[in-house]
Amino acid sequence: METGKKPMRPNQQLANRVREVLLSLGGEAHRGMVIEQVARKMGHDVRQIPEDLQVALIHSFEDAWRDERKRATYGFHLPFGEGSHRWSVKAVPVLH
């Protein structure tokens, strides 16, 4: 059955997972904690998170944060500026 929506790309799926975890953590957390929580929800042992998953999660956040439209969609924010490992999300993204 066709829904008319394009299937989500892996990067979008990861960005959605990051967003969900950030919201569950009160909207802000160190990226290491976010990565652990996403990995746990995906069924990984958080003591041995695959490096490619860690890199993919970091890239999904950074890609969305750098792109103005994606930033508005996901609500991603770096409260301490670029290079910070503290990630946050606005509960209700502001759409322009």
The CATH number of the domain where 23 resides is what?
1.10.10
The answer to whether residue 2 is domain-embedded is: no
The answer to whether residue 17 is domain-embedded is: yes
The per-residue pLDDT for range 20-75, each reduced to its tens digit, is 999 999 999 999 999 999 999 999 999 999 999 999 999 999 999 999 999 999 99
As for how many domains the chain has, the answer is 1
Rounded Cα distance, 5 and 12, in Å: 13
The answer to whether residue 3 is domain-embedded is: no
The answer to whether residue 5 is domain-embedded is: no
Q: Please state whether the predicted TM-score (pTM) of the whole model is above 0.75.
A: yes
Alpha helices in 1-96 (DSSP H): 10-24, 31-41, 51-66, 68-74
The answer to whether residue 39 is domain-embedded is: yes
Q: What per-residue confidence (pLDDT) applies to 8?
A: 46
The per-residue pLDDT for range 77-93, each reduced to its tens digit, is 999 998 899 999 987 65
The answer to whether residue 42 is domain-embedded is: yes
Residue 47 Cα distances to 8, 28, 40, 44, 50, angstroms = 28, 22, 10, 9, 10
The answer to whether residue 31 is domain-embedded is: yes
Q: Which residue range(s) make up the domain with 65?
A: 10-89
The answer to whether residue 53 is domain-embedded is: yes
Reported confidence tier of residue 9, pLDDT bands at 50, 70, 90: low
